[in-house]
Amino acid sequence: MADEAATTVRKIIHVDMDAFYAAIEQRDDPSLRGRPVIVGGSPQGRGVVATCSYEARRFGIHSAMPAARAARLCPDAVFLRPRFDVYRRVSRQVQSLFRHYTAQVEPLSLDEAYLDVSDVAGFRGSATLIARDIRRRIRKETGLTASAGVSYNKFLAKQASDLDKPDGLTVIRPEDGPGYVAALAVGRFHGVGAATERRMHALGILTGADLKAWKLEELQQAFGSRAAFYHAIARGIDERPVRACRVRKSIGAETTFAADLRVRQDMLDALETLATKVAGLLASRNLEARTLTLKVKYADFVQVTRSRSREQPWIDAVDMLYHLDVLLARTDAPARPVRLLGVTVSALGPAEDGVAEQLELEV
């Protein structure tokens, strides 16, 4: 293998359920099959799309899109409130299935996980055969489909699982990894968000090959702490291990805006999206939190945080947003334009039965 690839060949599988929430709704209600199904908030409110069926995606609908816009794009869409109790039950079933193959399973959310099968002796030691069998069993035992990516590291395994959706299996071999990354548009890199993509484009970095041409020192000047990651993945290198047990102290999400926000409602809309993501992560890990923190970075890069702790757990996006509104009022926004907003929950603990199933996606 080329000297730029990982020195130790691992066998990593990324499994991603196809349109998970919507697929469960179509499975449980045959009248929904073949129809554009949107799971999330109401289009009459300020709700957002949690996920949607592939029939809806043909209209340009995607997760985190305002539900009202989704309704305009597809007037015939069926909008459903999420049933997180059902989704979590199916997720536990799928995660249990993964552990029949290896103990090295790292769940990322309710509907996806990494598996390290490097030391699995069965299936002739073939990660491809294991991934194929996992997909077969998921279909047989749940009635759902999953796509899988197989490669020698997490970055490429996750990229591979997106290549043949839905119900696909793609393998990126060690000898093909660097070439695959070189031809990939940077906007399709997992770990490169929209704001970073725009910044890379402004610097003339359009593909993995362009990114590879930059020296580490140059990337550090442009991208700071993320430079080492970008430098490595441009060469098909990702040494991150699959972590079967990760002790989390906090869960958060943040976004940097292409243009500074100057209107309070725009800030609240952004906070709704962030709160929905954080609440979903809590639900997927069966956790609850006791502290909610708002992060605000002004246009002049001055950063402040505002927090609230309480005995009643934070699990619900609607609940979070109400209090984020209060916390935002304790900052200088919108009198001072805002370039970044973040939402974090901490003081984590296991959710009581049924508690984390109450996640809402609408205010």
- The residues annotated with a catalytic role in the active site are 112
Please check whether residue 186 is in contact with residue 194, taking contact to mean a CB–CB distance below 8 angstroms: no
| Residue 248 clears pLDDT 70, i.e. is over it | no
Q: What is the CATH number of the domain that holds 121?
A: 3.30.70.270
**Structure tokens given for 312:** 């009643």
Same domain for 31 and 101, yes or no, is no
- 86-107 burial, b at 16+ Cβ within 10 Å, e below that, comes to ebbebbeebeebbeebbebbbb
More confident residue, 311 or 333: 333
> Residue 313's pLDDT band (boundaries 50, 70, 90)?
confident
Determine, yes or no, domain membership for 291. yes
Same domain for 255 and 300, yes or no, is yes
| pTM, rounded to two decimals | 0.70
| Residue 116 clears pLDDT 80, i.e. is over it | yes
Instruction: Give φ, ψ of 312 to 5 degrees.
Output: -70, 130
Whole-angstrom distance, CA of residue 328 vs CA of residue 263: 12
Strand pairing category for 37-40 and 78-80: parallel
Across 303-319, average pLDDT? 88
- Dihedral sign for Cα atoms in the order 215, 216, 217, 218: positive
Across 7-12, average pLDDT? 81
Radius of gyration of the chain (CA): 21
Tokens 């069966």, residue? 286
Peptide bond into 334 cis (omega under 30): yes
Same domain for 300 and 278, yes or no, is yes
- What average pLDDT is seen over the chain? 89
- Dihedral sign for Cα atoms in the order 90, 92, 95, 101: negative
Q: What is the CATH number of the domain that holds 280?
A: 3.30.1490.100
pLDDT of residue 8: 63
Packing angle of the helix pair 84-98, 127-142 (nearest 10 deg): 140
First-to-last alpha carbon distance for the chain, in angstroms, is 53
Same domain for 79 and 150, yes or no, is no
> Residue 66's pLDDT band (boundaries 50, 70, 90)?
confident
Q: Which one of 52, 67, 84 terminates a domain?
A: 84
In this structure, what DSSP letter does residue 30 have?
A: G
Instruction: Give φ, ψ of 209 to 5 degrees.
Output: -65, -40
Domain that holds residue 303: 250-358
Lowest mean pLDDT among 17-31, 47-61, 231-245, 339-353: 339-353
Domain count for the chain, please give it: 4
Same domain for 71 and 91, yes or no, is no
Please check whether residue 257 is in contact with residue 196, taking contact to mean a CB–CB distance below 8 angstroms: no
Determine, yes or no, domain membership for 268. yes
Determine, yes or no, domain membership for 178. no
| CA–centroid distance for 290 within its chain | 23
pLDDT of residue 353: 44
pLDDT of residue 247: 57
For residue 65, the cross-strand partners are none
> Residue 211's pLDDT band (boundaries 50, 70, 90)?
very high
Determine, yes or no, domain membership for 345. yes
Q: What is the CATH number of the domain that holds 223?
A: 1.10.150.20
Determine, yes or no, domain membership for 57. yes
- Dihedral sign for Cα atoms in the order 260, 263, 264, 265: negative
| Residue 3 clears pLDDT 70, i.e. is over it | no
More confident residue, 188 or 73: 73
